[in-house]
Structure 1
């Protein structure tokens, strides 16, 4: 009875999933209401602004905002006319993010690695791509479905196997879900956001070849890189190759942003 109930819940959830496509045409699993994710994104962003130091240097903020605005002007609606908030955090990490609810954060440590406006545009465009492609919705939805699947597996293992073998089966299912579903899903998101970021860069007139140079800079920063199979991100070499293969398909707009620090 318990197995039938969980299985029925799983099927009911799948039946409610609306057919959706990402901006690149990829089929998506999106179970969460967009408005709810935007509220969550806003809450997380406000909390970060309260807990992290903020860079108040006017020139730095104007530079980052200039790059972000150049990209935002190229976005599809409703993103183009949305009231995006951009915050520069005083942190040495070479990182940036964008959250649902039109929130962009850039750590000023990134400006040491992204050495010009084009490289910074590659990062910000990539992060905006995550928002527009609703990757956070997909991640939450996939975790929900994996959780339901593991519940079904646990019931089967509990009713059909002894306790020792049931524990082994559940451990294997957990590893399989992580390596076989969730991590590749993350790598798919990263690669898709790279392409979307390049689309926005091209429409804004940024130099596309600088996106590959950015990842060379990142790789030169060093640090331990896990095997690509066990990583949520593509390896830098794979990323650079994919970027260089995609660039010839794009036409760069006949304009040149002029964002300077």
Structure 2
């Protein structure tokens, strides 16, 4: 463990440290460049696609693509191509990773009963990427020594190249936005940003509250995986209710320009 201070300083020198603000004005410390975080996201997504069964249902894929594409089309960097994949799994879950990657599990579609409710979840997950939450979480892990302890173990095992060691320190793999859970402040921030995204994309923001009510009912007393570190259902619904006056006008304005509705044939 004597190597930890040296490794930590080396990591800071390699990555740099940026104090910045999130889109809602919250202070953030980001140790990694957008290029590094995008690389982590791409690596994570490739691993997940190897581990999970990708859905071949063309109808289902068109539906999820439609919702996701409408959400990403209103992003400030909408020119970024987003890779959208549907996974065959009973998990009530979805995620978005840096670099433009979205995964939706078929189990979620049993709880998100319409396009607006699905847009609630996708908007929320994309908001995590927009707000640099993965960078923030990996940076926090780095600063508390979790990532560097992994690097120290790798070094002690022997036969590890400098590149492999550095990648271990970065926390590559599904730790990015997947194993490392977001904090509640980040979840609340993603709620606020996500409901605005869905409204701008022409999805009914009032359905966001219905979606989380459905989530609260899912599994009885056991929350879905998607809610493991999220605020309480009542707290979340109250926040979304307070947002309605702000986002409903955005939704109504977007309706005039909406050219495509997302429907799934059942």
Q: TM-score range by the shorter chain?
A: 0.7 to 0.9
Normalised to the residue count of structure 2, the TM-score between the two structures is 0.74
Which residue does the alignment assign to 1:94? 92
CA distance in 2, matches of 1:99, 1:144: 19
Structure 1 unmatched runs, 5+: 152-181, 226-230
Instruction: Give the match for residue 261 of structure 2.
Output: 258
Matched, 1:32 2:29: no
Equivalence for 1:136: 134
Deviation at 1:220, TM superposition (A): 0.6
- The answer to whether the 8 A contact 2:199-2:254 is kept is no
Q: Give the structure 1 partner of residue 22 of structure 2.
A: 22
Identify the residue that residue 176 of structure 1 maps to in structure 2: none
- Aligned-pair Cα RMSD in Å: 2.5
Alignment check: 8 A CA contact 2:91 2:108 kept: yes
Secondary structure of the residue that 1:19 maps to in structure 2?
Answer: strand
Rounded to whole Å, the distance in 2 between the matches of 1:68 and 1:84 is: 9
Match of 2:237 in 1: 240
Rounded Cα–Cα distance in structure 2 between residues aligned with 1:208 and 1:247: 7
Say which is worse superposed, 52-61 or 118-127, in terms of deviation: 52-61
One of 164, 188, 212 as aligned partner of 1:191 = 188
Q: Deviations over 1:37-88 (max 9, x none)?
A: 11111111112112211111111000000001111111002xx011100000
Q: TM-score scaled by structure 1?
A: 0.76
**In the alignment, which residue of structure 2 is the partner of 1:201?**
198
Question: How far is 1:26 from its partner?
Answer: 1.6
> Map of 1:46-195 to 2, 5 A cutoff?
46-77=46-77, 80-147=78-145, 186-195=183-192
Aligned to 1:219: 216
Give me the whole-angstrom Cα distance separating, in 1, the residues matched to 2:100 and 2:142: 24
Assess if the C-alpha contact under 8 Å between 2:17 and 2:32 holds in 1. no
Structure 1 stretches of at least 4 aligned residues deviating more than 3 Å after TM superposition:
none
Ranges in structure 2 where 5+ consecutive residues have no aligned partner: 150-179
Deviation sequence 1:124-160 (CA, Å, 0-9, x none): 0000001111101111111222339xx9xxxxxxxxx
Pick the structure with greater CA Rg: 1
> Deviation digits for residues 102-143 of structure 1, max 9, x if unmatched?
000000110000000000000000000011111011111112
Q: Which has the higher helix share?
A: 1
Q: Does 1:41 align with 2:41?
A: yes
